[in-house]
Amino acid sequence: MSAESALRWGVIGPGGIAHKVVRYGIHRAGHRVVAVASRSLEKAQAFAAKHDIPNVCTSYDELISRTDIDAIYIPLPSLLHKEWCIKAAQAKKHILVEKPVGRDTDEVREIIAACEANGVVFMDGTFWVHHPRTAEIKKTIESGELGTIRSVVSRFSYPGHTMDPKSEIRLNTNLEATGVLGDLGWYNIRYSLFVFGYELPVEVVGHIVERHPETGAARIFVGIMKWTDGRTSTFEVSFLATDIQRIDITGLDKSLWMDDFVLPFDGTVNFFPSPEEFQPATTATYYVSAGIGKAEERKAFVGDVIQEQCMIQDFADCVAGRKSAKTFSDETLKVHQVIDAIWTSALNNGTPVRL
């Protein structure tokens, strides 16, 4: 990427995932971060030192008002997204924001409307959407090799039983109301929508299986989505189980599955013991099966890229007009519509909700 086409970024909120996006997304894609802002000056200074960021801002408003920033990455709790996304859009800054994007779909609509009104790009920070393997799997599905897709079944979990409820945002229902559903279930729901061409389900059901005993945050959640003609998707997400990222896409003729649908094992960024030791993989694996014991391993060619980098490249393509930002924002809205409906169902003891 030429220096002329590289975007100048600002970061609002240097949380854990921001390290990953800056180092392996923004920097690796050939862009640079001009400034970082945090409510804690020490956190901002430490983040800036780690990532060679030349400027530290003492407020979010100060960062947004800078004239040497083109785009802003916002990994704040979703409670704060609406205010700062809209302010950034009004300042003519392109926006990459973590998910969930808002507390509900109405907030997300307001954010996207503000971006459209001010002529700036909006994108949420779902990595796998931009990975070359995803495009390969889309081709496999659309080729008809699997036959008519009948179901998507997925599980996403990790052992978060030691998370401190006093400091962990995901266990704070004021900051992240839907707990594990918004944090992990976002990925399961989005992948199901992706498989069915982002067609919305006609009915959903949700159940909060377990809440945190102190905060009441959802820690285990199961959901069911139903489409016309008997097509379904079921998922389980949990903060109280070992690491699992399994998805099974079942058609009338064949099935396709992965054990790493969120963070590909081939080319996953591992922060330990040192992120500098990371080397990207040139392929990413998935499996196609014609029956029990008949799984064929397939490799999608990736090249010298990883999904964090691909996300930033797609973002820059949207800014340059080479790709449609509306395609990504429409997908975000649909995920939020489904999350709202499934959460409503869960709060009403699993009563089905029609979309």
128-311+335-354 maps to CATH 3.30.365.10: no
Q: Rounded to 5 degrees, what are φ and ψ at 319?
A: -60, -40
What per-residue confidence (pLDDT) applies to 273? Answer: 45
What per-residue confidence (pLDDT) applies to 252? Answer: 97
Q: How many residues does the chain have?
A: 355
The segments of the chain whose pLDDT lies below 50 read 273
- Tokens 């285990």 label which residue? 220
Give residue-wise pLDDT tens across range 175-199. 999 999 999 999 999 999 999 999 9
Give residue-wise pLDDT tens across range 279-337. 778 889 999 999 888 999 999 988 888 899 999 999 999 999 999 999 999 999 999 99
Which whole-number Å values give the CA distances from 199 to 21, 69, 173, 251, in the listed order? 29, 36, 30, 17
Answer yes or no: are the C-beta atoms of 206 and 350 closer than 8 Å.
Answer: yes
What per-residue confidence (pLDDT) applies to 303? Answer: 85
**DSSP letter string over 130-164?**
GSHHHHHHHHHHHTTTT-SEEEEEEEEEEE-TT--
Q: Rounded to 5 degrees, what are φ and ψ at 225?
A: -125, 140
* CA pair distance 345, 100, nearest whole angstrom: 18
* CA pair distance 39, 56, nearest whole angstrom: 11
- Tokens 């392929």 label which residue? 283
**DSSP letter string over 243-311?**
EEEEEEEEESS-EEEESBSSS-STT----SS-GGG----SEEEEEEESSTT-EEEEEEE--S--HHHHH
* CA pair distance 233, 226, nearest whole angstrom: 7
- Whether the full predicted model's pTM is greater than 0.85, yes or no, is yes
Domain locations in the chain as residue ranges: 8-125, 128-311+335-354
Answer yes or no: are the C-beta atoms of 3 and 25 closer than 8 Å.
Answer: no
Classify domain 8-125 at the CATH topology level. Rossmann fold (3.40.50)
Answer yes or no: are the C-beta atoms of 211 and 217 closer than 8 Å.
Answer: yes
What per-residue confidence (pLDDT) applies to 310? Answer: 96
Cα angle, residue 200 at apex, residues 194 and 203 outer, rounded to 5°: 125
What per-residue confidence (pLDDT) applies to 274? Answer: 52
